[in-house]
Each structure stands twice: as structure tokens, then as C-alpha cells.
Structure 1
Amino acid sequence: MNRKRTVFKGMSLLALILSFGCKEVVVNKNPKEDVEKLIEIKDSVKILKAKKEEVPKSNLKSLDGLADTLFVRLADYSDDFVYDLRYATENNFLKAKVYDCAECYTRVKTARALLLANKEFMDKGFKIKFFDCYRPNDVQYKMWAIVPNPQYVANPVKGSIHNKGGAVDITLTTLDGEELDMGTDFDFFGKRAYHDNWDLPKNILDNRLLLKETMEKHGFWSIRTEWWHYNLGAASNDKVANFKWDCD
């Protein structure tokens, strides 16, 4: 019995040796190198994991499912606009600050059209820059008290499309933020700001045409005397609003 067990053990050992016969067995003579390599691999995994966690998640909201007449803050839905909201400063024709803080709100349907227009502008190397957006009717009354002239300020009793959340005052910038030359500053009230004034340098006319044609393509219409003003046609019949945003 003992002899049989010895033979069996011998055969098992032989099989084990034969199983490694075709393989190169490497014996690391320096275990410290193995430990260092393991530490290096572990650190690499940590770095990769940290980089993955550092990727910021977009906090932008979606307009999907929102009612067309709801007021929304454009900055919550895109990082690709530029802002210089003049009526929140004294740098305007009124020479007065009439907004408590600078925010750009519109109705949802206006926001949708602006996002599409801006995408087309960006494909061509430009961005929309806002001077004014939705304007609460109370602010319209403030403006009227300063300049009670319907040639420059809409009568607040009737209101303007700005008060409906369907009008914006805009220009274009390069993707780096440099304003295109439109011939005049915002709120310049004179013939040089008219759309039908062709007595201007070609680059100015080209810039205005780019702005006008693209905005009209996305449902907006312009007014003859102000190259910066655009109304969304679909907002014309909306009600004058007095929605006010919070200022932090």
C-alpha cells in the first residue's frame, strides 16, 4: 500500500514538472522592484480616477416640455451668449439705471428661437450679445417717466413686445467676444442706425445683413430705425407682463 502511494506521488510530481516544460519560469530576484511597480500602477489608477471625477457636469437646463409662454433666464439654458445689459447701468440713452440687476429673461418660445439662431451664428464664428431682453411693464413706466416720447420709448399703457418677452436688442461678437462694427452704438437714434441706410462702409452693411438675415430665418423681424432690435413674430399677440426676477 505504501509503495503504491509513493508511485502515485512520484507520477503527480512528474506531471507537474512536465506541465511547465514548455513555459519559461521567471523568478524575480529583486522583490522590491515588484512592490515599486505595484505602487506605480496603483498611483496611476488613482490619477485616472481623479481626472474622470474632475470633468464638470453641465448644469444647464432643458427647454423640453416647458410651456411657450413661461419666462426663463437664458443663462440657465446656454453658456454661449454674451451680455451687456445697458438698462441695469447708466450707460444708456436714459442716463439712468432702471433695472435692479442685470438679467436676460424671455418667453420659452423666444428662447428656443434665440438658441437656434445663436447656433447658426456660432457655426459662422459669431455669438449673440444682448443689450436688453424681456422688460417688466413697471420698468417701461420708469422709462416713460424719464423720456415720455413714443419715438424712443413705447407708451407703457399699451406696452411693447419687450414687455411681452418677445423682443431683444442685440448685436454680434466674434467667438472671442469682440463686437462687430454695426456703424453705431446701441440706442443711437438717427439715420445712421436705419436698416435702409446704404450710405455706410461695406463691412458695416455686411455685418447688419448677417444679423438681419439670420434672425429673420429663425422667426424674428426687425424695425426700420434700429439695427439692434428684433421681435419674435410668434410673440406679437402675447400679453404685456410684469413678471420680475429676483436679484441676489
Structure 2
Amino acid sequence: MLVLAAAAALPACSTTRASDASDLVDAGAAVPGLRLDMRYAGSDNFVGMPVRGYEAPRCLLLRPAAEALAAVARDLQSDGYALQVFDCYRPQRAVGHFVEWARGPDDPTSKQRPYPDVDKSALLGDYIAETSGHSRGLTLDLTLARCEAGACAPIDMGTPFDFFDERAHTDSPRITAQQRANRERLRDAMVRHGFRNYPLEWWHYTLDRGEPQPPLLDVPVR
């Protein structure tokens, strides 16, 4: 976990290998109380290994997304909540890694956690696409953590992150009233500051800036 006070000026990202990545900033150093749980930099994810392009567990975003996320975090702090991110900017090479995995052979043992009721071949499309808004630096995956007496813990959203199933749909009828209220708390806070939710994934939000869209990037996360 990396917790720093929100700064008026966001720090530039040090991963600039090309000029088109110069606007990426380190949200972990700009969003108050942000908790980092960057799944693709390690093995706790649906492919079971570090994903190509993730060389450090950092949350990088375009500056407008980082600033909007900081506003969300400040709103939630007064109610005793913090944001916990699973993924932010995603290099295009990582998207390619996901597609390769989805096209590979199924493993009945490894499917139980991320997609127990879905055929692996059905993941391409709605869940795993050949291009991703994450690669534009305006999309992130996150949840809420409840903070009491200096300790924070993720709240119950009804499914884990990256659970490919109808129960992960934001408005799924197959979750409890409390789980639905938790999802709505996150959604209300994000929408208030310009983010929109992807309805098939309760954790997935994109800053809505309209057109034109920023370019897809393939700079490693370092």
C-alpha cells in the first residue's frame, strides 16, 4: 500500500520511453489513501503469472483520470472508505498476452476461480478484447476498502476481481442487498467525478471525456 497526501501538481511518470507516454502520471503518489493491489505485476491473476509489460506494481493514468480519481478518494475518505486499485494503464503487449491465454487450451483446475461457469472460448469479446481502453490511460479496475482505527480492508462486492460470470455484472440480481449497496456506493462516487462503469464488470471504470480518444500506448509499466 502506498499512501501519500494529494498534491496539487501530479508527478510525471518515469516510464517515458516514447513521447506519447509523457502524460502518464503515478496515481499512487497523487490519490489520497490509494491502496495498490496491482494484480498483473504478480501471479495473483487469471493467467497465473506476471503479465507482459508489467515490470512494477504501479498505477499509471493520464493526468485527467488521476485528478478525477483523487477527487473520488477525497469524497470517500470522509465516510471512512479508501480506493483499492487492481489495474490502471495497461500496455498493449499485456492485452496481447491476455488474448494468447484465452486462445490457449483450457485447464479445468485453474478455471474454478476466474470463470467456473463459462467456457474459456467464450471469454474473447465481452471479457477479453484485442484492444482495451486501459491502454489509453483513462480506464482502471478498483474496489472500495473500509477503514477503521487506521486499518483498511476491502468490502464485499459479491465476486472477486476478474470473475468472468453474470454475478460480476454490476446490476446482477444474483447478489445480496448489501453487496448491491456496496457496488452502488462505488459507482455513485465514480460517476460523480466523470467516470462511467462497464456493466459486465463492477470494478471497471473509464473517465468519460468524449471524442477524440487518446491513442493506445504500449510503454511498459516500470
In which range does the TM-score fall when normalised by the shorter chain? 0.7 to 0.9
Corresponding residue for 1:81?
34
Structure 1 residues 205 and 147 mapped into 2: Cα distance closer, same or farther (>3 Å)? same
Q: CA deviation at 1:62?
A: 3.5
Corresponding residue for 1:70?
23
- Which structure has more relative contact order (CA 8 Å, sep 6+)? It is 2
Structure 1 residues 182 and 100 mapped into 2: Cα distance closer, same or farther (>3 Å)? same
Q: How many residues align?
A: 184
1:162 and 2:134 aligned? yes
**8 Å CA contact retained: 2:11, 2:26:** no
**8 Å CA contact retained: 1:132, 1:170:** yes
Corresponding residue for 1:41?
none
TM-score normalised by L of structure 1: 0.69
Structure 1 residues 133 and 235 mapped into 2: Cα distance closer, same or farther (>3 Å)? farther
SS at match of 2:205: strand
Corresponding residue for 2:90?
135
Q: Where do 1:91-130 residues align within 5 Å?
A: 91-98=44-51, 99-130=54-85
1:243 and 2:219 aligned? yes
RMSD: 2.2
Range 112-121 or range 142-151, more displaced: 142-151
Q: CA deviation at 1:74?
A: 1.2
Q: Which of the two has higher C-alpha Rg? A: 1
Q: CA deviation at 1:75?
A: 2.0
Matching residue's letter, 2:40: Y
Return 5+ residue gaps in structure 1 as ranges. 1-57
Return 5+ residue gaps in structure 2 as ranges. 13-21, 104-123
1:212 and 2:158 aligned? no
Structure 1 residues 123 and 200 mapped into 2: Cα distance closer, same or farther (>3 Å)? same
Structure 1 consecutive aligned stretches of length 4 or more whose deviation exceeds 3 Å:
58-62
**8 Å CA contact retained: 1:85, 1:103:** yes
TM-score normalised by L of structure 2: 0.76
Q: CA deviation at 1:61?
A: 5.0
Larger proportion of helix: 1
